[in-house]
Structure 1
Amino acid sequence: MNIRLQLFELEDQRWFPHVIRQGMLDFLRFMISKLGAYEATLPLLQELLTKTKQTHITDLCSGAGGGIETIQKGLSQRMGQTIHVTLSDLYPNISTYQYLQTQSGGTIDFIPEPIDATAVPETITGVRTIFSSFHHFPPTIAQRILQDAADKRAAIGIFEGAQKSWVEMILLWLAFPIVIVLVTPFIRPFKLSRLFFTYIIPLIPIGIIWDGTVSLLRIYTPTHLQQMLQTIKAPNYTWQTGRVGNKPGKHVIYLIGYPN
């Protein structure tokens, strides 16, 4: 699937109910964590941290922090030291971030104030990451995110958990409605609103299927990313992009950049 369509996702709309958006993001976080969707990115992140001599990740556009627990644990184990992660977002999901902070014993923390990925404050340090969110941005804004990292000499890793294939699209339409119904009671932190808007008024499942479909169509392929990089002014800065992962549900498209 080489096409990219800039359609709209419900969770991006300001008018979209916050409770539905958070229910959708909580499901995404649960599935990414349980499937280990970003397992294949660990060697890339380890190399990026090692090259930049960092032990701290600042995650941008964190949403509900999908998969960050397993990533933090996996990186810490691989590197033999504790890797700290700070979550941030333009619309911070405070309750979920507090839950992740408690669950991780403080190795995951968060910034409660809104953080714009196109203009990250100089005071915020660490290797920048964006998981499952870069596709939300049209090319002009995506370029600004990359340019901001390059201008501030910050390393950045962008990861999309998908192969971008029609098979994934068909599985989303046929299998996900069943999966959503089965796993929702096990998502934590527990919320009655999540049950209500899944089983009584199914706005969360409808939103997940719609946004999942649009997400696959919006994801940038490595070719798209290479074309975007040609617009970035980044002297003495190295970029890498490609695909990793060869297991079902564990394919990842990535873009990594770091100062020389």
Structure 2
Amino acid sequence: MKIRLQLFEFEDLPWFPRVIRAGMMDYLRFMISLLGTYQPIVPLLREALAKANAAELLELCAGAGGGTEGILRRLRETGLPTARITLTDLYPQPAAWQLLAQRNPGLTYEVAPVDATAVSTTLAGFRTVFSAFHHFPPPLAEAILADAVQQRAGIGVFEGAGKHWLEILLAWTVLPIAQLLFTPFMRPFRFSRLFFTYFVPLIPLFTIWDGTVSILRMYPPAQLLSLARRADPHNTFDWQAGKVRHWWGPEVTYLIGVPRLQRT
């Protein structure tokens, strides 16, 4: 599927109820962690960190932090024991992040809002964006990359899908059933999550819509590279984009940019 449709997701709308958005983000975090969605990109990320001489990751648009602790744990187990991650978002979720930080030494978070298109110079680290880059139309997506280029901060963009019609079918069938089965086991516990899943099922319904639109809004690798080249007109970064496949089938789409060594 090479087309990209700039549709809307409910979670992006400013009037959308926070309680429903939080429930959707909790589900996304739980499933990404349970399935190890981003484990296939750990070798690519570790290689990029080595090239950038970095061990600190700055996660932008972190949402509820889905998959973050698994990535941090795997990085530390495979040759980068000093790896650290700081979670940030324009709409911070400290309640969800605090739970992750308590379980994972080396994981911290920023309570103040962070704009991914204009990151403060006080927030250092190799930047990552998981499951969120598709939310941004091309001008803003390019601005995220351009800000990293301007500050000479390496960046990795990762989407937990390969942009296939089969993934849309899964979003309509298997994943809603999984949501109904696993919601009672999600932490931190929220009565509102149970209420809006089982009694008034707004969380599952909006999750189906947003999950479908997320796939349709995703940038395929060729478009990611095109955005990167526009964001880096002087060719100061090394860029690579593509897909990697999980051992059980699903793909992860990625774009990675590392600053080239400056000549003295």
How many Å separate the matches in 2 of 1:217 and 1:8?
A: 10
- 3-state SS, counterpart of residue 156 of structure 2: strand
How many Å separate the matches in 1 of 2:113 and 2:214?
A: 23
1:4 aligns with 2:22: no
The equivalent of 2:126 in structure 1 is 127
- 3-state SS, counterpart of residue 79 of structure 1: coil
The equivalent of 1:226 in structure 2 is 225
How many Å separate the matches in 1 of 2:224 and 2:80?
A: 32
- 3-state SS, counterpart of residue 78 of structure 2: helix
How many Å separate the matches in 2 of 1:250 and 1:115?
A: 31
How many Å separate the matches in 1 of 2:246 and 2:147?
A: 32
* 8 A contact 1:128–1:154 mirrored in 2: yes
Structure 1: stretches of 5+ with no match in the other structure: none
* 8 A contact 1:55–1:82 mirrored in 2: yes
How many Å separate the matches in 2 of 1:102 and 1:82?
A: 17
1:36 aligns with 2:36: yes
* Partner amino acid, structure 2, of 1:164: K
The equivalent of 2:241 in structure 1 is 241
After superposition, residues 1-260 of structure 1 pair within 5 angstroms as 1-105=1-105, 107-232=106-231, 233-248=233-248, 250-260=250-260
* 8 A contact 1:35–1:249 mirrored in 2: no
* Partner amino acid, structure 2, of 1:69: E
Structure 2: stretches of 5+ with no match in the other structure: none
Shift of 1:250: 3.9
How many Å separate the matches in 2 of 1:72 and 1:138?
A: 29
- 3-state SS, counterpart of residue 207 of structure 1: helix
Compared CA separation, residues 203 and 45, structure 1 to 2 (3 A): same
- What is the percent sequence identity of the aligned residues? 51
How many Å separate the matches in 2 of 1:32 and 1:136?
A: 18
- 3-state SS, counterpart of residue 101 of structure 2: helix
CA deviation map 1:113-144 (0-9, x unaligned)? 00000000111101000000000000000000
How many Å separate the matches in 1 of 2:135 and 2:230?
A: 19
Shift of 1:103: 1.2
* 8 A contact 2:142–2:230 mirrored in 1: yes
How many Å separate the matches in 1 of 2:170 and 2:235?
A: 42
TM (norm. structure 2) is 0.96
Shift of 1:208: 0.7
Compared CA separation, residues 92 and 234, structure 1 to 2 (3 A): farther
Number of residue pairs the alignment of both structures matches: 259
Shift of 1:231: 1.6
TM (norm. structure 1) is 0.97
- 3-state SS, counterpart of residue 179 of structure 1: helix
Q: CA RMSD in A?
A: 1.1
How many Å separate the matches in 1 of 2:97 and 2:50?
A: 26
How many Å separate the matches in 1 of 2:59 and 2:226?
A: 24
* 8 A contact 1:38–1:250 mirrored in 2: no
How many Å separate the matches in 2 of 1:236 and 1:163?
A: 28
How many Å separate the matches in 1 of 2:248 and 2:21?
A: 27
Shift of 1:207: 1.1
Shift of 1:3: 1.0
How many Å separate the matches in 1 of 2:258 and 2:8?
A: 31
